[in-house]
Structure 1
Amino acid sequence: MDQHTFLFNAELIDLSDSTHHPFLSNLQGNILKAHARRFTRNIFLGFHASCQREIKATIARLAQDSTNEYWWTDLRITSAFRQMEQSNIKHTIPSSTFFNLFFSARGYEFFDITPPNDPAFQIGMGESLEWPSYVQSDLIKNLKEGPAGVKNTLRASLKTGQINKGKWIYPYDQDIHAMILLANSEEPALEAAEKNICQLFKPLSNLIHVERGSRLPPNDQGNSTEHFGYVDNISNPIFFKQDYEKAKARELPAQFDKHNPKASLSLVLVDDPYGGENAYGSYLVFQKLEQNVKRFSDQIDQLRERLGISKELAEAFVIGRFKDGTPVIMSSISGMNPPPNNFNYYEDEWDNDNVGMRCPLHAHIRKMNPRRGLYRDNRIVRRGITYDDRTCSSKFLPKHSQEASSLPEEHVGILFMCFQSNIGKQYEALIKEWGLQGTPKSDVGADPILAFNDGSHHDSVEQNWPLRWGGMKPIQQKEALPWNHVIRNLGGGYFFAPSLSFLKSLPSFP
């Protein structure tokens, strides 16, 4: 099997099969399976132009296999194979620090290396999201000056679109060359690792910025949530046989006959053009998304009053799940634990909800994952975490009984991260085409969560909301609410997770 064919695997990867270990040893961790740590640090770097040789050597050392007998204390980029080893023995050793390293297209250009050939990646997030995918592809094919020329051409005639980079906060309005992700379930150990990395790169960089992520306390069922109070990261593609069997066992009954989370490696991996044999990487999207929790709660109250339904059902209509993860397509009340993932919206008599009477057509999870065969190749692999930038260290879990005045309006949100093999086909399709237009059907309207508050869209979006749950006739009411104010996009970027073999060989590139 050649290297490219390997990505289109029909069967899931079996971690007990040693023939996969070389592949996993050369792939960065966190792509095929989440690192599962509680705390994170995203460290953004802009390199000094005069330090190219020293930076190459430093990165190559970080990619080498650890020589420390106590390897969990030795900072090295974590391979997928090392991540598997750490997971197997995590209860018998001190908490280990997980380590990823990513380059932006500007980072590759800093090293005088042509960036991997995803058009959106080469152009960059701020410019790429302004333009339809077919325009990007046409420019990439026809402009002889390459990615830099494409970027300059686009910048020369930029129009206001979904992303207005002028409204991004520091450092996302700057040229970022690399991002390092550190993660640990013990915050003191993570802080020590952060300090070591920042000291290492301080002489080599003119920009060092750190974002701090942390999981919120679990809900009453023990599931992690985000700041609006919903269980998060329930549905993600699965690549390993062992993970699939565990996920199937959580379903009642234990099967995936309506929605199968299996995925081939091609969904998330591409050949690393500079890594040699068994070398793969993945494109990463990062965004800092601020959540206005008070406004979200207020608008839920407005929706509840206008439709004459319970607050709990109004919350479920907006997201597509109740706060405990129960899919609203399956139930008019919460209480399904563990949260099911084996459901769809179309395929049999009970699930067929083409008019959105049990789950509105514009509900967030329905827009982002229509759960139909046609859209399976557009799925993304989410790896984000919540953040809280307030000076107060106390964390909270939003509850119905909480006073609205105590809910935050800023400084909390999600450090959104997702992996994919094609940014335009996956992430940008969700944001530019599905989130704001008529997917899964025409005239559906915008996803109320993804209408970012960046000044480039109307203050409200009109939606068709059911007046009650269920039924076969479209008894609906049209309501306009300013949903775009619940999320503010503070900035982000596109990155690539290179193979370890490329990072080790970086000093050999002229």
Structure 2
Amino acid sequence: MTNLNQDEIDTLIEPVPNFNDIQGLILRGYNFPYIRYIVFKINDREGAQYFCKKLLPGSNGLLNVTTAISWRPGYKPDYCLNIGFTAQGLKILIDKDPQKPVNFNKVSGDSFEFFNSFKFGAVKLADSLGDIGNSAPDLWWQRSEGWLNSEVPPLADGSDLHIQISIFAHNSQSLESYYQNLLTMIPAGTHGPAVTAVFFKDSEPLPKGDDYIHFGYKDSFSQPRLNTVPWNIKDERLLSGKGGIDDRKIVPTDQFVINIKKYPKEGPPTIFDPHPLLENGSFAAFRLLYQDVKAFNKFINKPPEGGKPGDANPELVAAKMCGRWFDGTPLVVSPHKPNPDLKDFDFTNFNYINATPNQKGDGDNDDLGRLCPYAAHIRRTNPRDDTKVVGNKDDDGKPNYAKGRRIMRRAGPYGPDYVENEPEGIQRGLVGLFICANLTDQFVFIMKMWINRGGFRPGYDSPNASGVDPLFGPAKETDSKDFYFLPEDETDKKYIEMTGLERFIRTDGSLLLFLPGIKALEDISNGIIPTKPQL
């Protein structure tokens, strides 16, 4: 990557993306309530290539991949579909001998910055992602009740998982119908179907309403803001019924779509120069995350250390763990109770140090974590203007608002709503895709340095020790199992200590995926890679 200083970066002109060549879910959330996430195993290379070819937009296939082209106001398609490949799946499709992956190695060698994590896969990176103990890879897939062949267990190294397809629909009946259509598109191979569905999991809304997760929080507020997409332009937002002023810092589109070239006003150099197969593509982590609602409810309802049963304040404890009240109200906006008057960007227009122009509430500086603890989940995953967090400031010391660490989150709940005194073993949680251009610098960094790392504000972790992310809980036995917060916003008050923090989120499956652009998907379906131009 070419080294550019901040002044040079500020002069860059970001062109409008080629929406025809980008898979839709990378840049926009579809807001379909019913989603099926399917994982396929490739049995026959040529048949799998033909299957991918029929999914291309413009083919005569029953279903086609959805691109990022804008929908006209008031219109929504009957379904959306998107596709990704694991490293092993990509090797099979673009190399005649995946044991000698010449094409794969060529793409990887030309794109080291982007392939560095992808080529190793989720199993080999499990330690870095906190997938250890009860979240270890040898326990994935089957216990979630989504594995489709009870007689053939998944391979421990994940090498039998090759293609991931997501189908989005308006109701459960049409979702099943589109899934059956997808299965009929699979051609025959030498010894049976060319690809086999080995796992699927459905996501659908919970009774509490859209965008709620099983822990009880309303979710999906703070997706990255892109400036080159029409649905982030004011007029388009108003047409879709979303008003207000958006104070979120703009994140360059090339943090999510690879090799959208950005040129200085003078001079030819581009920032990225990966292999052209990656152009207009992205990477993603597919995650199946079990949520232990029973243990979570028990924790937030327990009295603090040294307290009595009547001292429990579950709503406050849950808000301090997340950084938001259950309805989504940010603690830095309303630290003492939810604010029902918030709407639209009121939920996202805030900083932790210096208030944004349209921030609601008092706009207090929360450098000491008086309002929102350092440990809180949303502060750890997006520290905004807190420069004391590792990896969250530019060379000149100014906050970069985590713009090089953001991810697009396309995930929703699976499994039934929790019922008190229900039988043990009911599966529920969060499933979906966490999308970025650079897995190492974005998804892996967040998981390793901000979620699982004890004390993610090195040297500035006082007076409010951050420990580990309290929603994920301690991954290692040596991690702190305590959670601290101030009951009020005065630092001379005694901190409340909650002991016995557990792992409330368990990994039950994980894949690292390449989400190709449409031209790249065509090349993959032909078993080729484009030629890299000679400079």
TM-score if structure 2 supplies the norm length?
0.73
The answer to whether the 8 Å contact 1:130/1:163 transfers is no
Structure 2 partner of 1:298? 298
Deviation string 1:128-155 (CA, Å, 9 cap, x unpaired) is 24359xxxxxxxxxxxxxxxxxxxxxxx
Deviation string 1:26-84 (CA, Å, 9 cap, x unpaired) is 11111110121111111101111xx212221221121141559xxxxx41111111xx2
1:368-407 aligned within 5 A:
368-372=381-385, 373-374=399-400, 375-388=402-415, 396=417, 404-406=420-422
Q: In the alignment, does 2:47 pair up with 1:41?
A: no
In 2, the alpha carbon distance for the partners of 1:325 and 1:431 equals: 22
Task: Determine which of 224, 228, 231 is the counterpart of 2:211.
Answer: 224
Q: In the alignment, does 2:194 pair up with 1:204?
A: yes
Quick one: structure 1 residues 271 and 129, their matched pair in 2 at CA, closer, same or farther if it must change by over 3 Å? farther
Deviation string 1:195-239 (CA, Å, 9 cap, x unpaired) is 1222333711255322111122454xxx52111111010111022
- Give ranges in structure 2 of 5+ residues lacking alignment: 1-8, 96-102, 148-153, 187-191, 261-273, 356-361, 386-398, 529-535
Q: In the alignment, does 2:452 pair up with 1:436?
A: yes
Task: Determine which of 62, 65, 69 is the counterpart of 1:77.
Answer: 65
Deviation string 1:302-360 (CA, Å, 9 cap, x unpaired) is 15686646322122111110000111122110133326211111125943222222111
SS in structure 1 opposite 2:24?
coil
Share of identical aligned residues, percent?
Answer: 22
SS in structure 2 opposite 1:53?
helix
Structure 2 partner of 1:462? 482
Structure 1 partner of 2:287? 287
The answer to whether the 8 Å contact 1:451/1:457 transfers is no
In 2, the alpha carbon distance for the partners of 1:334 and 1:165 equals: 39
Structure 2 partner of 1:150? none
Give the residue type in structure 2 aligned to 1:212. D
Quick one: structure 1 residues 66 and 32, their matched pair in 2 at CA, closer, same or farther if it must change by over 3 Å? same
Greater mean deviation of Cα atoms: 123-132 or 364-373:
123-132
In 1, the alpha carbon distance for the partners of 2:183 and 2:252 equals: 36
Structure 2 partner of 1:97? 79
Give the residue type in structure 2 aligned to 1:317. K
In 2, the alpha carbon distance for the partners of 1:280 and 1:127 equals: 27
Structure 1 partner of 2:379? 366
Quick one: structure 1 residues 306 and 36, their matched pair in 2 at CA, closer, same or farther if it must change by over 3 Å? farther
Quick one: structure 1 residues 419 and 39, their matched pair in 2 at CA, closer, same or farther if it must change by over 3 Å? same
Structure 1 partner of 2:533? none
Runs of 4+ in 1 over 6 A off after TM superposition: 8-13, 159-162, 246-253
Quick one: structure 1 residues 504 and 274, their matched pair in 2 at CA, closer, same or farther if it must change by over 3 Å? farther
1:151-230 aligned within 5 A:
164-170=136-142, 173=156, 174-175=158-159, 176-201=161-186, 203-206=193-196, 208-219=198-209, 224-230=211-217
SS in structure 1 opposite 2:232?
helix
Q: In the alignment, does 2:499 pair up with 1:504?
A: no
Q: In the alignment, does 2:333 pair up with 1:333?
A: no
In 2, the alpha carbon distance for the partners of 1:252 and 1:58 equals: 39
Give the residue type in structure 2 aligned to 1:342. N
Quick one: structure 1 residues 227 and 244, their matched pair in 2 at CA, closer, same or farther if it must change by over 3 Å? farther
In 2, the alpha carbon distance for the partners of 1:9 and 1:489 equals: 39
SS in structure 2 opposite 1:385?
strand
Greater mean deviation of Cα atoms: 25-34 or 338-347:
338-347
Quick one: structure 1 residues 27 and 334, their matched pair in 2 at CA, closer, same or farther if it must change by over 3 Å? same
Give the residue type in structure 2 aligned to 1:40. I
Structure 2 partner of 1:136? none
In 2, the alpha carbon distance for the partners of 1:97 and 1:284 equals: 21
In 1, the alpha carbon distance for the partners of 2:410 and 2:426 equals: 22
Give the residue type in structure 2 aligned to 1:59. C
SS in structure 1 opposite 2:36?
strand
Quick one: structure 1 residues 253 and 45, their matched pair in 2 at CA, closer, same or farther if it must change by over 3 Å? closer
Greater mean deviation of Cα atoms: 51-60 or 287-296:
51-60
The answer to whether the 8 Å contact 1:251/1:342 transfers is no
The answer to whether the 8 Å contact 1:248/1:256 transfers is no
The answer to whether the 8 Å contact 1:235/1:261 transfers is no
Structure 2 partner of 1:318? 321
Q: In the alignment, does 2:471 pair up with 1:476?
A: no
The answer to whether the 8 Å contact 1:460/1:483 transfers is no
In 2, the alpha carbon distance for the partners of 1:473 and 1:251 equals: 45
Quick one: structure 1 residues 247 and 504, their matched pair in 2 at CA, closer, same or farther if it must change by over 3 Å? closer
The answer to whether the 8 Å contact 2:284/2:435 transfers is yes
Quick one: structure 1 residues 256 and 90, their matched pair in 2 at CA, closer, same or farther if it must change by over 3 Å? closer
SS in structure 2 opposite 1:378?
coil
Structure 2 partner of 1:154? none
SS in structure 1 opposite 2:488?
coil
Q: In the alignment, does 2:471 pair up with 1:449?
A: yes
Deviation string 1:284-307 (CA, Å, 9 cap, x unpaired) is 111111111111111001156866
Structure 2 partner of 1:53? 46
Give the residue type in structure 2 aligned to 1:448. P
Deviation at 1:243, TM superposition (A): 2.6
The answer to whether the 8 Å contact 1:217/1:224 transfers is no
In 2, the alpha carbon distance for the partners of 1:417 and 1:36 equals: 14
In 1, the alpha carbon distance for the partners of 2:306 and 2:319 equals: 15
Give the residue type in structure 2 aligned to 1:465. F
Quick one: structure 1 residues 501 and 274, their matched pair in 2 at CA, closer, same or farther if it must change by over 3 Å? farther
In 2, the alpha carbon distance for the partners of 1:275 and 1:195 equals: 34
Greater mean deviation of Cα atoms: 28-37 or 107-116:
107-116
Deviation at 1:500, TM superposition (A): 0.8
TM-score if structure 1 supplies the norm length?
0.77
SS in structure 2 opposite 1:100?
strand
Structure 1 partner of 2:127? 130
Greater mean deviation of Cα atoms: 105-114 or 278-287:
278-287
In 1, the alpha carbon distance for the partners of 2:370 and 2:208 equals: 31
Aligned residues, how many? 440
Name the structure where helix makes up a greater proportion of residues: 1
SS in structure 1 opposite 2:81?
strand
Give the residue type in structure 2 aligned to 1:270. I
Aligned Cα root-mean-square deviation (Å): 3.6
Deviation at 1:186, TM superposition (A): 2.5
Give the residue type in structure 1 aligned to 2:337. I
The answer to whether the 8 Å contact 1:304/1:310 transfers is no
